[in-house]
Structure 1
């Protein structure tokens, strides 16, 4: 499966709050690295924890929505507020299902994202 397809499946599941589709997009042993720029970051392992981590990120920014973007040359997602501010960038890796995610929420590292907005929608 192409990276864009994985990003599209994940975004649709997140947008619709479809827990079953969200779990289905993720490999059973999925790992998500969270780079918050401080001690709050870390690594989440297994589907349930990653689903909760993604939901927690959305809950912290209820006014934001996921958009499909290029992340390091591949399809990924950005969590963007209505004013255009990006509060999270999600890089996706996998083949048939997502095996690894990298979520950056560090304001310092997101500074470049808040100057330009490379959408692929």
Structure 2
């Protein structure tokens, strides 16, 4: 993906824990929908709240890092452990100004089966 791609810019902002860069990538009305596969999922609205939630993701999985991927034809990020296991997939929806308007995060193990199918340590 190109460096000016919103997913690449989001990755750079998250990796550098750069509040200003993250704010420039997120739309002021950004919305994050979390599908955890249980009642712990939910929705967060607003640039600042979405930013806090995104910065918190890697702390729940300190052995994982983000990588730019395509998610159902959309730009996105995958949160992958060093073992190769994907523990989260983030799909992005863009506003006309190329800021990220909506983000869908799936951490439900059943929905990540496709992402983990080709891991060598899984039979």
| TM-score normalised over the length of structure 1 | 0.89
What per-residue deviation string (whole Å, max 9, x for no partner) do you get for residues 19-58 of structure 1?
1101110000100100000111011000111111112211
1:116 deviation in Å? 3.6
Contact kept in structure 1, 2:90 and 2:105, CA below 8 Å: yes
Q: In the TM superposition, what are the counterparts of 1:1-121 in structure 2 within 5 Å?
A: 5-94=5-94, 95=96, 96-116=98-118
CA shift for structure 1 position 111: 1.1
Higher relative contact order (CA 8 A, sep 6+): 1
For residues 91 and 22 of structure 2, the distance between their equivalents in structure 1, rounded to whole angstroms, comes to 16
Instruction: State the aligned residue count.
Output: 115
**Offset from partner CA, 1:46-77 (integer Å, 9 cap, x none):** 01111111122111011111001110012210
* Secondary structure of residue in 2 paired with 1:113: helix
Does the Cα contact within 8 Å between 2:74 and 2:93 map onto a contact in 1? no
List structure 1 runs of 4+ shifted beyond 6 angstroms.
none
Unaligned runs of 5+ in 2: none
Higher Cα Rg, which structure: 2
